[in-house]
C-alpha cells in the first residue's frame, strides 16, 4: 500500500490547440478533465497498474466533490478531509509539439485546525503502508514545515517517506531525513543555489541534498531522462518518446513507477523512466496503463560523462 498526500489538489482541465497566438481567439481541438495535484497523479498512476493506492487530500465545494468522484471512478481509496475553501482548478494548453502553457490557481487558504485534521488523517491512513508520498505545493495558510511535521509523525511508524515538493518546503523537509526526494532539474538547482547544466552538476547537487538529509535522490530531468543517486552510487537513464503530447504529470508517473518497482536500483529506475515517458505520449494529465509502457526504449547507464550538457530550457 502506498499513501499519497496532496495538500493542494486540483481539477485539471487540458485544452489541445493547433497553435497559441497571444491575444487571439483560439479554438480547442481536444479537451480533458482529470484529477490533479502531484500526489493525486501518483495515486492515479499506481491504480492504473493495479497497485494499492490511498489518496489523502483536503476537498471543498462542488469542485472538490467532482474531484473525489473522479478519483473513486479511477479505483482509488480516497481519504477526504473537508475544508471550507473550494478546491482549485488548473488549466493546461497543449500545442502539437508538446509545448505546455499552464495556468495554476494558488488554492484556498487552510486553517490551522484543517491542517491538524489533515495530519491526523495521514497518520491514521498510513497504518501498515509501505510508503507515504508527500507531494506538491502548499496552499496559502500552510506553514513551510508541514512536511517536517508529517515526517516526524510518520517516524513513529515503519513507513518510508518520499517527498516531491520545491523551494523552502523541500529544503526544510531534508532535515527530517526522508527516504527519497524527487526534484526536477529546476527544483534541484533551487535547493542547492547553483545552476544544474551538466550530468556532473546533477550528481553534485544530489550529493548536497543527500548530505542535508535525504537518503536517496531521484532527479527527473525532462527530455534528458532521470538520475538516481543513493548509497549504491549513481545510475542514469533515458527513454525515447516518439510522439510527445503533454509533459503534465510525467514526473508524477515517474515517481509512481519507481515506487511500484521497489524504489531501488536499475530495475526501479527503468520502470520509472518507462512510466514517465509513457505519460509524455498521452494527452493532458492522463496516467499511463500497462499497455502504454515501452520498456525496450529505456537505456540505463551506470557510468556517466560528468561534462555531458543537459538540454537548454526555454
The angle formed by the CA atoms of residues 184, 112 and 142, to the nearest 5 degrees, is 20
Query: What would the grid cell of residue 75 be?
Result: 479505483
| Residue 193 grid coordinates | 543555489
Contact assessment for residue 100 and residue 246, using Cβ atoms and an 8 Å cutoff:
yes
| Nearest residue to 31 (alpha-carbon basis) of 45, 11, 17 | 17
How many Cβ atoms sit within 10 Å of the Cβ of residue 101? Answer: 12
Tell me the C-alpha distance between 73 and 156, whole Å. 33
- 114: Cβ contacts below 8 Å, ≥ 6 apart: 58, 81, 83, 84
How is 181-227 classified by DSSP, letter by letter?
A: E--BHHHHHHHHTS---BHHHHHHHHHHHHHTT-S-EEEE-GGG-EE
d(CA 132, CA 188): 21
**Total Cβ atoms within 10 A of residue 262:** 11
The C-alpha cell that represents 197 in the structure block? 547544466
Distance CA 20, CA 79 (A): 38
Q: Catalytic positions, please?
A: 252
Q: Could you give the C-alpha distances from 206 to 137, 139, 231, 257, 306, in angstroms and in order?
A: 21, 27, 12, 20, 13
CA distance 139 to 189: 23
Amino acid at each position: 500500500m502506498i499513501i499519497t498526500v496532496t495538500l493542494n489538489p486540483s481539477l485539471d482541465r487540458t485544452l489541445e490547440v493547433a497553435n497559441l497566438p497571444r491575444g487571439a481567439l483560439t479554438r480547442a481541438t481536444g479537451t480533458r478533465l482529470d484529477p490533479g495535484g502531484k500526489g493525486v497523479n501518483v495515486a492515479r498512476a499506481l491504480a492504473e497498474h493495479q497497485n494499492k493506492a490511498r489518496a489523502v487530500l483536503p476537498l471543498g465545494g462542488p469542485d472538490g466533490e467532482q474531484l473525489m468522484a473522479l478519483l473513486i471512478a479511477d479505483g482509488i481509496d480516497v481519504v477526504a478531509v473537508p475544508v471550507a475553501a473550494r478546491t482549485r482548478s488548473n488549466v493546461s494548453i497543449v500545442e502539437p509539439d508538446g509545448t505546455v502553457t499552464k495556468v495554476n490557481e494558488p488554492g484556498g487558504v487552510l486553517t490551522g485546525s484543517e491542517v491538524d485534521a489533515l495530519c491526523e488523517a495521514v497518520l491514521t491512513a498510513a497504518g501498515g503502508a509501505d510508503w507515504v508520498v508527500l507531494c506538491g505545493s502548499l496552499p496559502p495558510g500552510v506553514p513551510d514545515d508541514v512536511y517536517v511535521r508529517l515526517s516526524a509523525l510518520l517516524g513513529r511508524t515503519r513507513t518510508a517517506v518520499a517527498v516531491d515538493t520545491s523551494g523552502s518546503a523541500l529544503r526544510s523537509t531534508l532535515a527530517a531525513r526522508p527516504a527519497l526526494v524527487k526534484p526536477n532539474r529546476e527544483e534541484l538547482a533551487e535547493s542547492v543555489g547553483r545552476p544544474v547544466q551538466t550530468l556532473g552538476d546533477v550528481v553534485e547537487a544530489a550529493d548536497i541534498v543527500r548530505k542535508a538529509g535525504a537518503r536517496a535522490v531521484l532527479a527527473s530531468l525532462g527530455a534528458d531522462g532521470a538520475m538516481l543517486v543513493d548509497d549504491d552510487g549513481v545510475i542514469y537513464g533515458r527513454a525515447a518518446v516518439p510522439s510527445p503530447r503533454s509533459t503534465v504529470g510525467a514526473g508524477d508517473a515517474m515517481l509512481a513507477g519507481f515506487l511500484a518497482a521497489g524504489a531501488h536500483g536499475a530495475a526501479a529506475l527503468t520502470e520509472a523512466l518507462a512510466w514517465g515517458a509513457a505519460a509524455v505520449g498521452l494527452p493532458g494529465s492522463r496516467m499511463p496503463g500497462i499497455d502504454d509502457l515501452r520498456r525496450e526504449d529505456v537505456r540505463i547507464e551506470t557510468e556517466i560523462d560528468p561534462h555531458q550538457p543537459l538540454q537548454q530550457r526555454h
